[in-house]
A and B are shown apart, each in its own frame.
Chain A
Amino acid sequence: MIDTIEKEDPVISEEEAAQYDRQIRLWGLDAQKRLRGSRVLLAGLGGLGAEVAKNLILAGVKGLTLLDHEKVSEESCRAQFLVPVTARGQNRAQASLERGQNLNPMVKVHADQDRVEDKPDDFFLQFDAVCLTGCTRDLMVRVDQLCSKHNIKVFCGDVYGYYGYMFSNLGKEHNFVEEKPKLVKQTGSDGPEAKKTKVDPNETVMVKKTASFCPLKEALEVDWTTEKAKAGMKKTPVDYFMLHVLLKFRTDKGRDPDPQSYPEDSQLLRQIRDDVLEALEVSADLLNDEFISYCFSEMSPVCAVVGGVLGQEVVKALSQRDPPHRNFFFFDGRKGNGVVDYFGPN
């Protein structure tokens, strides 16, 4: 789908050139044109969703559909800045529409109040990229399977208290360009200097590359009993296992850990942690109790960081420029640590 969008509207208007000037200088006019032709679906308008919405609308995509069936609650007004205080009881996507649109009138922002799970398969096919937040594991796996069959870029992300993650599946063969400094061969003089190719600081070349991604299902179903997996355990971010626990909680309870039910939810998280680690056949010591007190609600600055990275990954994928993160990004807001790592079949 991506390859057909660029020829839609070759000439960039003066208004666009002026407003997007600072980012065009960064990623080039070609990239901006591709963005301009892209339609994106964003599911979930919580703290993280709002950040991604802001970033994609500001970047200048063609259209962004905000899909959310939830109603604006007391907490929603504090979790994100798109929903006005007066909107309590309204649909969250609908309530986010006005401010979202105002961020950039050149983008077609649309609100949809349906549940993601109720959408027919062909609903997703109108988009170039799909970004899922607040969805259950099964739903994410289903949408990922469907979209990658049709070359639609898939992104998932969530924030749990101080922790956050994003996942991407850009397909088995994602093509992109990378700007690299030009290599200049040394001529003339003898000796060791002549053998080295030098880097020309003033000139760059665009190099074509390909990256391969695996489906979400495979990324989550890594077999930890193999020798290779066990050997790589030391370098494996614990966040990956924490994600499994939090996704299981969401599936079992139909919601995320709630501060109002802190004691019961903590107890359940502890139990799920034990079950998950046992089912994956990894050490019970891998994930201690600490994360439990820090995974409730959505911390606003964490949403900003994860939303920033996720937004930028969508921009990179749609513009087919610069190496994408492959395939997970985990952020630990308590330590200020971010890590990119690959999970999937080798």
Chain B
Amino acid sequence: MADADEPEKKRRRVVELTEKMVVDGGSGRTCEWDGRWNHIKKFLERSGPFTHPDFEPSTESLQFMLETCKILVIGAGGLGCELLKDLALSGFRNIHVVDMDTIDLSNLNRQFLFRLTDVGRPKANVAADFINNRIPGCCVVPHFKKIQDIDETFYKQFHIIVCGLDSVVARRWMNGMLLSLLVFEDGVLDPSSIIPLIDGGTEGFKGNARVILPGMTACIDCTLELYPPQINFPMCTIASMPRLPEHCIEYVRMLLWPKETPFGDGVVLDGDDPEHIQWVYQRSLERAADFNITGVTYRLTQAACATEVFKIASSAYIPLNNYMVFNDVDGLYTYTFEAERKSVASIEQRTRPNLSKTLKELGLSDGQELAVADATTPQTMLFRLCFTS
């Protein structure tokens, strides 16, 4: 057991963390009844050998959770719907949800907060309405926006951020945002600036969830190689809301080709046949034009035709201890392990070939300013070049 004053130090730190977090007041509504939270109290008012060392069981925890704690849910799709339901039923009251998409008919087989009459409406808005009408006292605030269109003053207000995103790019952006909020004093990380990120994802029958403490544990970038090469897209995006040239090509490959069978019944798309590729390329250009998307090239079409596309279905949210893989079909495999933090940034790996070029070859001169930006992070880094010889 630790020293006698260790628990006290820890308790003070938890209280400090609570006080320092920038929050609005509670919702102010009272719809309590006697014993409403008895069952949840049981969990919070008991300690045991497995409770986290920093967790101080007390009646204050429940108060904090109900009235003060602000949670941000990113994505109101398959995972988002499940998350909102579980969080609201667990007693969290101040929840915000961000989603840039509208509801499609094909969402209804799993995104259960939506009805047939909601098709076409923004997911965030409909999800919020459903939960607010259903759970007394719960206040879900919707944001029908891209995560990249909201700035740090918004993200700073949350105690916890939970993601049910459908792209690695978006995850990395979120990761970057939270890293940018970290405050270091004399090289020491101020723990009150940490916003835990709980990230989940699903594909077919499989899903995973993990807990990231920016600045302390492995983050999205540290474990980037765990993600498969991003050549797969959610089918709903392809069918009705394409944003990238790749989406247009997938649409033609997966939906138009089997429908129109341009080279005869049962003729499968052959990635090596230039006539097939040409057909897909032309139709992809037309699709892209419909949505004002640029970037469809013959080369991209060729690459896309050589790959497979997976399907996405929803799965349940799992609270856990760093990283867990949940595989339903092959037999259950759950394994929690601690991912290690990488100290080398991955940007370096991608621009490695440039290292062998001289600055002159790269077109740079003395005194020039170099801005380094990436779609995966909100931070742009500025360098001024000073040649010493």
Check if B319 sits within 8 Å of A301, measured CB to CB: yes
Check if A293 sits within 8 Å of B110, measured CB to CB: no
Interface of B is mostly: loop
Chain B residues within 8 Å of A84, by CB? 134
* Interface window among B6-14, B40-48, B168-176, B216-224: B40-48
CA–CA, A64 and B316, complex, Å: 21
B130 to A, closest residue via Cβ: A81
User: Does chain A have a CB within 8 A of B332?
Assistant: yes
Check if B204 sits within 8 Å of A102, measured CB to CB: no
Chain A residues within 8 Å of B90, by CB? 299-301
Check if B35 sits within 8 Å of A340, measured CB to CB: no
Check if A22 sits within 8 Å of B112, measured CB to CB: no
CA–CA, A218 and B20, complex, Å: 57
Check if A23 sits within 8 Å of B313, measured CB to CB: yes
A300 CB contact (under 8 Å) in B86, B109, B330: B86
Chain B residues within 8 Å of A202, by CB? 308
A340 CB contact (under 8 Å) in B41, B49, B205, B332: B332
Chain A residues within 8 Å of B36, by CB? 74, 78
User: Does chain A have a CB within 8 A of B38?
Assistant: yes
User: Does chain B have a CB within 8 A of A333?
Assistant: yes
A340 to B, closest residue via Cβ: B332
With most chain A CB atoms within 10 A of its CB, the pick from B38, B205, B315, B330 is: B38
User: Does chain A have a CB within 8 A of B244?
Assistant: no
B335 to A, closest residue via Cβ: A337
Check if A260 sits within 8 Å of B38, measured CB to CB: yes
A295 to chain B, nearest CB (A): 10
Check if B39 sits within 8 Å of A337, measured CB to CB: no
User: Does chain B have a CB within 8 A of A325?
Assistant: yes
Q: Could you give, for residues 284-300 of chain A, a 1 whenever the CB lies within 8 Å of some chain B CB and a 0 otherwise?
A: 00000010011011111
Check if A58 sits within 8 Å of B50, measured CB to CB: no
CA–CA, A22 and B238, complex, Å: 12
Apart from A293-B42, A308-B316, A338-B332, list 5 A-B contacts with CB within 8 A.
A294-B43, A297-B40, A300-B86, A323-B330, A335-B336
User: Does chain A have a CB within 8 A of B334?
Assistant: yes
* Residues 248-284 of B at the A interface (beta carbon under 8 Å): none
A56 to chain B, nearest CB (A): 12
Chain A residues within 8 Å of B108, by CB? 19, 58, 104
B245 to chain A, nearest CB (A): 23
